[in-house]
């Protein structure tokens, strides 16, 4: 098996036919001039050491020099053996709250944009880990299945808005149940769910969130976005606040960060709770947590190990260039005695 690294340099081989055509044209022109002013017999008498064969040999060596120099630039590689590479990492699914309460601006620029910024920065710090994305409000929606394509993950992440789910709410349990289907193997010890939310779930009171999170077998990291004091939910048109969301009684809705809920979810699943106010601190805490985890092998690949072979072609190129330089166009005395070229 072989591989050509820089095929663009093959265009340099165009020089070879140019040299051949130039040599033929020049030889033809010299013969015409010589035949015009002097006969062949007289030329042999006046210049007995002129060789008609050596210029062709020099041209041949020059062609070989160009050929091998070009091949060295192309850098052919030869495959030697199959190697198996084992990749280890964590399967990390991000569950981002896209309910209307995430539009609150008690954390700049707002809770949702802050969540997307945090996830993007975490992805930038990952190496061999795989990521997935879930959006949830009153229900959960799979956005991106587990992948190691970080660029695609960040593209899908930026598409998250509070309008993508018509039903509103903050169904944390929906995201946990959906996340279970994202992982390849239920026996994996490196399954992590990162929930980014304000934790304001009014439907969770009658459900045992602690037991459900514990039985999921997933390490859950929760990131709290917002303030305990709370903030109104702005309703904007063309990025201008027109009013604030109100309840059925006409009172302005104040959405607050539910730290207790998010902490309970994290603690029950051997995870951690992180305040999302400082992006740098959040990213650092999560990266350190992932390093501490048991990273299981999730992918093995075989590939051919290619070795550079350009040095051989450079050697031949130098050899033929040296031969072209040391060979003169006149006849060589000892070669003349051997009469190899019948001259």
Task: Give CA–CA dist 193/191, Å, rounded.
Answer: 7
For residue 75, how many C-alpha atoms fall within 13 Å in the half-sphere facing its CB?
7
Give CATH superfamily name and number for 86-300: von Willebrand factor, type A domain (3.40.50.410)
Count other C-beta atoms under 10 Å from residue 133's C-beta: 25
Q: What is the pLDDT of residue 330?
A: 65
Q: Which of 59-63, 80-84, 87-91 has the lowest mean pLDDT?
A: 80-84
Q: Which two tokens stand for residue 161?
A: 């808005």
Cross-strand bridge partners of residue 40? none
Q: Which two tokens stand for residue 100?
A: 């209307």
If you search the block for the tokens 């695609």, which residue do you land on?
A: 152
Nearest Cα residue to 198 out of 94, 101, 95 = 101
Task: Give CA–CA dist 324/264, Å, rounded.
Answer: 82
CA distances from 166 to 32, 74, 79, 139 (A): 91, 57, 55, 9
Reduced to 3 states, what is the DSSP secondary structure of residue 95? strand
Q: What percent of the chain has pLDDT over 70?
A: 79
Does the pLDDT value for residue 231 go beyond 60? yes
Q: What is the pLDDT of residue 153?
A: 94
pLDDT, one tens digit per residue, over 2-13 is 778 888 889 999
pLDDT, one tens digit per residue, over 298-322 is 555 566 667 788 888 899 999 998 8
Does the pLDDT value for residue 103 go beyond 60? yes
What residue ranges do the domains of the chain occupy? 2-75+309-338, 86-300
Instruction: Let me know how long the chain is.
Output: 343
Does the pLDDT value for residue 41 go beyond 90? no
Higher pLDDT, 196 or 58: 196
- Structure-derived torsion over alpha carbons of residues 21, 25, 30, 33, reported in degrees to the nearest 10: 180
Higher pLDDT, 82 or 341: 82
Q: What is the pLDDT of residue 206?
A: 45
- According to DSSP, the β-strands at 254-255 and 2-4 are unpaired
pLDDT, one tens digit per residue, over 120-165 is 999 999 988 889 999 998 888 999 998 989 999 999 999 999 888 7
pLDDT-based confidence at residue 38 (cuts at 50, 70, 90): confident
Mean per-residue pLDDT of the chain: 83
pLDDT-based confidence at residue 229 (cuts at 50, 70, 90): very high
**Region class of 308: left (phi > 0), else alpha (psi between -120 and 50), else beta:** beta
Max distance between CA atoms of the chain, in angstroms, equals: 122
Q: Which two tokens stand for residue 229?
A: 């004091």
3-state helix vs strand vs coil in the chain, percent to 5: 45, 25, 30
Is the overall model pTM greater than 0.85, yes or no?
no
Count other C-beta atoms under 10 Å from residue 171's C-beta: 22
Q: Residue range 174-198: average pLDDT?
A: 80
Does the pLDDT value for residue 338 go beyond 60? no
Task: Give CA–CA dist 154/149, Å, rounded.
Answer: 9
Element (H, E) at 33: helix 15-37
């Amino acid at each position: 098996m072989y591989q050509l690294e820089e095929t663009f340099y093959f265009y340099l081989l165009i020089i070879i036919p140019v040299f051949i055509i130039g040599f033929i044209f020049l030889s033809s022109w010299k013969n015409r001039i010589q035949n015009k002013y002097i006969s062949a017999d007289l030329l042999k008498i006046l210049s007995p050491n002129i060789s008609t064969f050596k210029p062709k040999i020099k041209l041949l060596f020059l062609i070989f020099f160009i050929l091998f120099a070009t091949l060295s630039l192309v850098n052919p590689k030869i495959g030697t053996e199959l190697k198996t590479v084992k990749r280890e990492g964590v399967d990390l699914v991000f569950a981002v709250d896209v309910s209307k309460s995430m539009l609150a601006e008690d954390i700049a620029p707002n809770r949702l944009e802050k969540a997307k910024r945090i996830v993007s920065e975490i992805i930038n710090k990952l190496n061999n880990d795989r990521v997935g994305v879930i959006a949830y409000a009153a229900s959960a929606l799979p956005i991106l299945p587990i992948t190691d394509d970080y660029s695609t993950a960040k593209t899908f992440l930026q598409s998250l808005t509070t309008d993508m789910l018509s039903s509103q709410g903050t169904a944390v349990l929906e995201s946990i149940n959906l996340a279970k289907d994202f992982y390849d193997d239920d026996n994996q010890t490196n399954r992590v769910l990162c929930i980014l939310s304000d934790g304001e779930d009014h439907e969770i009171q009658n459900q045992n969130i602690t037991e459900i999170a514990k039985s999921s077998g997933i390490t859950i990291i929760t990131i709290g976005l917002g303030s305990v004091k709370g903030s109104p939910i702005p309703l904007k048109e063309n990025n201008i606040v027109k009013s604030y969301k109100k309840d059925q009684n006409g009172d302005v809705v104040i959405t607050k960060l539910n730290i207790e809920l998010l902490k309970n979810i994290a603690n029950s699943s051997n995870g951690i709770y992180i305040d999302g106010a400082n992006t740098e601190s959040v990213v650092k805490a999560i990266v350190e947590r992932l390093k501490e985890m048991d990273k299981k092998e999730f992918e093995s690949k075989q590939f051919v190990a290619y070795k550079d072979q350009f040095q051989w072609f450079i050697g031949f190129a130098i050899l033929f260039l040296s031969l072209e330089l040391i060979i003169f166009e006149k006849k060589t005395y000892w070669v003349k005695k051997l009469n190899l070229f019948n001259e």
